[in-house]
């Protein structure tokens, strides 16, 4: 399969969508990002990399970081993790307060904002230096020691994160989180501010593509069964309330972020990351969604 040629052709074919959508302006630091950037990188489990355009430009991964937090929490807590957070598709917005209230403080899945705050709380309770250990884990996954948080982005989210603060307080009311609300929010926003390139994201997701093997990075271990189950959660819950549409159009497990990034895997073959800041109404990258749809269409490779 000539993935390099396919990615170049995809970039040309998605140009009619280049002005659709807008970046996440509700986060001031993200509103200043050039909305017309695009990058894409595919890494095979055989060690080949194929990239186009701005694949080495770092951007705010936002909710994609929740996959890494989930991996760490699953390593620490195992199946008992699911007593505090569900694994069902939400059907509502990623920051829904109504659904959390109706379901008595148990988030529907770990990729909603409420679910990710529970993950943050678990890491705060389990680790001596959660910010440093989270960063070390991601660095180990992708093999880059220069990946960092963007404090400006984290502060920007914190200063305007009134709805997230309400979610955290509701979680505390239901005793779903143990730590101080402000500490949970600070760590949550810090994780979301992580900056990576498409190449680094694709490499970081590669261990999840090889689901027949477990893995151990920076002291955190997952069995092959746990990797497989993480892929299942990504498939059903990784795209906010557009997970069904992504499964229908693309057919790969993955996770999106409001920074315009999407990371996905084709089990036992490759991982892929794409970045384009213009989002649709559901918070997913317009060109990113289209690029991945074309990838599985052109290659005839999806999990279905």
Question: Active-site residue numbers?
Answer: 63, 66, 188, 240, 258
What do you get for the CA distance between the two ends of the chain, in Å? 19
Compute the distance between CA of residue 35 and CA of residue 276 in angstroms, rounded to an integer. Answer: 7
- Residue ranges in the chain assigned as alpha helix (H): 3-13, 28-31, 65-77, 97-102, 113-126, 130-142, 151-160, 162-173, 181-192, 198-209, 224-237, 243-249, 286-299
Compute the distance between CA of residue 281 and CA of residue 285 in angstroms, rounded to an integer. Answer: 9
Contacts of 150 (CB under 8 A, 6+ apart): 29, 60, 193, 194, 195
Sheet holding 254-256, edge to edge: 49-53, 39-44, 270-275, 261-266, 254-256
Tokens 């949970």 identify what position? Answer: 184
Query: What's CA 215's distance to the chain center, in Å?
Result: 19
- HSE-CB at 149 with a 13 A cutoff on CA atoms is 23
In the chain, count H helices and then E strands: 13, 10
């Amino acid at each position: 399969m000539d993935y390099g040629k396919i990615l170049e052709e995809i970039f040309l074919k998605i140009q009619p969508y280049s002005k659709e959508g807008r970046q996440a302006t509700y986060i001031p630091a993200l509103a200043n990002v050039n909305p017309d950037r695009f990058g894409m990188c595919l890494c095979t489990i055989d060690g080949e990399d194929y990239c186009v355009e701005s694949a080495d430009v770092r951007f705010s991964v936002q909710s994609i970081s929740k996959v890494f937090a989930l991996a760490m929490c699953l390593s620490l807590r195992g199946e008992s993790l699911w007593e505090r957070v569900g694994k069902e598709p939400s059907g509502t917005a990623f920051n829904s307060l109504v659904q959390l209230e109706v379901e008595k403080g148990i988030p529907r899945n770990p990729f909603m904002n409420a679910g990710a705050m529970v993950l943050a709380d678990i890491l705060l309770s389990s680790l001596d230096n959660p910010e440093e250990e989270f960063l070390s884990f991601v660095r180990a996954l992708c093999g880059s020691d220069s990946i960092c948080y963007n404090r400006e982005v984290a502060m920007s989210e914190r200063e305007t994160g009134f709805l997230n603060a309400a979610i955290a307080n509701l979680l505390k009311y239901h005793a779903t989180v143990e730590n101080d609300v402000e500490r949970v929010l600070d760590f949550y926003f810090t994780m979301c501010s992580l900056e990576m390139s498409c190449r680094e994201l694709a490499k970081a997701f590669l261990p999840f593509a090889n689901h027949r093997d477990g893995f151990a990075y920076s002291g955190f271990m997952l069995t092959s069964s746990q990797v497989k189950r993480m892929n299942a959660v990504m498939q059903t819950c990784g795209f906010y309330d557009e997970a069904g549409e992504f499964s229908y159009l693309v057919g790969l497990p993955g996770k999106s972020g409001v920074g315009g990034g999407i990371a996905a895997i084709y089990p036992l073959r490759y991982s892929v990351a794409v970045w384009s800041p213009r989002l649709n109404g559901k918070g997913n990258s317009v060109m990113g969604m289209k690029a991945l749809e074309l990838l599985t269409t052109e290659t005839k490779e999806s999990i279905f």
